[in-house]
Amino acid sequence: MEDNNKIIQDENEKGSLQGILGEGSDDLTATPIQKGVDEDNSQRLSERLSFEGSLSPEQKTEVRSLFKADFEASIEEKKEELKKETQETKKDFLTIFGLFASFVTFLSIEVQVFKNKDNVWELIGVTSISLSFVMFFAIVINDIAKDKNGWSDFIKPIYLINIFFASIGIFCLFMGSKSPGNKMDSLEKKIASDSLEIFYLKNDAIGLRNKIDSLASNIDSLGALITPSQW
């Protein structure tokens, strides 16, 4: 009778323990996959320990030196990559600065041209030539930033476009110089410069005449002061 009561009490304790744990008890049990992973890790660890135990001190030193060399090589590789990235950043900054300077230069040239030029051919010519020079400057800055050298780098479509704009500018300037309006402007400017030169020459002639008159009056006054007895 006492044995039966003890068995019933043990079963009740087991039931209460299972009620407390609930579903969490299922999580505590290891799945077959987890068991396999643990077995693989333990097997690798045991193999590593057995391998290290089978090595002599000289072999261990050699293995450590090899690992150290690989580690230092990886560190140097990372340093080189970081250095290259820094250089690329500097090159990009130089390129952006060159493009900005080219754009500002082109705008300043255009402002001065539109202030002083009235001929359409000359406006187009000066604009095309200034654009070609600014493009050439920007391209050279870009090539310098990318460490490009040699004549082969100049054989590219962008340089042909640059030469095209320069040719158009020269042609337009030539046509502007041959236009009637430009000839009239040049004649008017020449007449104005000649008139100004004549004006200056007249002033110089008047000044010389005044000097001659003053010298003649001085000579007359000196002649009047000299008496016949002094001859």
Read off the amino acid at residue 35. K
CA atoms within 13 A on the CB side of 227: 2
Contact between 166 and 129 under an 8 Å Cβ cutoff? The reply is: yes
DSSP alpha helix (H) spans, 29-156: 32-54, 57-116, 120-145
Check residues 218 and 51 and name the one with the higher pLDDT.
218
pTM exceeding 0.85 = no
Contact between 105 and 134 under an 8 Å Cβ cutoff? The reply is: yes
Tell me the pLDDT tens digit for each residue of 5-50.
555 555 555 454 444 444 444 444 444 444 444 556 565 555 555 5
Positive or negative: CA dihedral 71, 73, 77, 82: positive
Going from N- to C-terminal start, the domains of the chain cover 57-178, 181-217
Tell me the pLDDT tens digit for each residue of 147-189.
555 455 556 677 788 888 888 888 888 887 776 656 666 677 7
Model confidence at 70, in pLDDT bands (50, 70, 90)?
confident
Tell me the pLDDT tens digit for each residue of 89-128.
777 777 777 777 777 777 777 777 676 666 778 788 888 8
pLDDT at 51 over 70: no
